[in-house]
Amino acid sequence: MTNPYNLIFGKEPLQSIPRNVQKNEIINSFLSEPCEQQIYMITGIRGYGKTVFMTEVAKEIKKDKDWIVVELNSLQDMQQDLAANLGSENALARIFKNASINLSIFGIGLEVKDSVPISSIQVALEKMLESLKKNHKKVLICVDEVTVTEHLKVFASTFQILIRKDLPVFLLMTGLYENINNLQNDKSLTFLYRAPKIELRPLNTGNIAENYKEIFDVDSDTANKMAALTKGYSFAFQVLGHFTFKMDGDYKKALPLVRNYLEDYVYEKVVSEMSSGDRKFAYGVAKSKNGKAKDIKDLTSMADNEYSVYRNRLVKRGVLDGSEHGYVRFTLPMFEEYIIRIMEYEV
């Protein structure tokens, strides 16, 4: 039997725990008539399954023959790439030719005799989408792991114009909290500030336990213990499953491999993106017995206002869970040992 768990970031795994409520929110919003939203931003910490979630939404929408799904890279010319993607599909190319849309100047290959070439890529996109609208077509654009680039700024400004002209274009973007936040707070992209966000949270550990119970044929108690170890963290669900499979179903033997893999491929990057104050606060959380605010303040010598700043930052980034008043806890499994080791090594 092939290992059913996947360690490749962004690749849709054979075994997954669906996020049906959030997925249906986006799909129903896009498919409703009239549509309720034309843009959603998906955010969460590394390894929470943002890319896989977006892929699942796109696949579901693509089942409708009137929808076209296009994936764009925010590091490239997104307007040009969108036009090229749409123009490269034969069925759509015929629609554009029938509408006398000449895109030869952009090297896309849509040359129409006796029709003046369009020289503005924004105008070209408007005309392409107008012709698609007449043919009852809609376009979903997916952008993974966005960062604030000039290409993205230009595209977002164009997208706003397309929406204002009531054209059938929809946008899904994924990104880390800080990148989405920077994008929404950019002065030239104020319309994104109001764009709804889907913040991915931990998976349901009950569903994880059921998955492990079925795959490894273990009892409920063992499956629940395995699920609890993941803390609902999507990537940990895959990693624990993968190495338990390699250890012939013995999850205890797999734990050292799981810990090393999470540290090397996720936690090292997470900690590198923290400020010194963030790391100090995280160390205080790890050293405290139960994440109680008073204990953390005593361990870090932080005043109330300083404590609140770092607490809120790490909660927003998805590193900490602050849902219980007066307490914080790590959302990442086995992270306590790692941050303690890193901080004490630095000292």
CATH code (residue 290): 1.10.10.10
> Which pLDDT value is given to residue 114?
55
> Which pLDDT value is given to residue 253?
98
Task: Give 10-residue mean pLDDT values along the chain (347 residues).
Answer: 87 87 95 91 92 95 96 94 91 87 71 68 93 96 92 91 95 92 81 86 95 97 98 97 97 98 96 94 95 96 96 94 95 96 81
Same domain, 81 and 110: yes
In a domain, 285, yes or no: yes
**Nearest 5°: phi and psi at 115?**
-130, 130
Count of domains forming the chain: 3
Beta strand 138-143 with 67-72 is parallel
> Which pLDDT value is given to residue 109?
60
> Which pLDDT value is given to residue 98?
86
Same domain, 131 and 151: yes
> Which pLDDT value is given to residue 346?
65
| C-alpha 321, offset from chain centre | 19
In a domain, 135, yes or no: yes
Cα dihedral 77, 51, 254, 15 in deg (nearest 10): -140
The C-alpha atoms of residue 71 and residue 68 are separated, in whole angstroms, by 10
In a domain, 81, yes or no: yes
Same domain, 118 and 106: yes
> Which pLDDT value is given to residue 110?
58
Residue numbers of the domain that contains 223: 205-271
Is the Cβ–Cβ distance between 238 and 13 less than 8 Å? yes
> Which pLDDT value is given to residue 322?
94
In a domain, 28, yes or no: no
In a domain, 332, yes or no: yes
The C-alpha atoms of residue 35 and residue 271 are separated, in whole angstroms, by 40
The C-alpha atoms of residue 153 and residue 318 are separated, in whole angstroms, by 26
**Nearest 5°: phi and psi at 167?**
-95, 150
Same domain, 265 and 283: no
> Which pLDDT value is given to residue 27?
96
The C-alpha atoms of residue 228 and residue 150 are separated, in whole angstroms, by 43
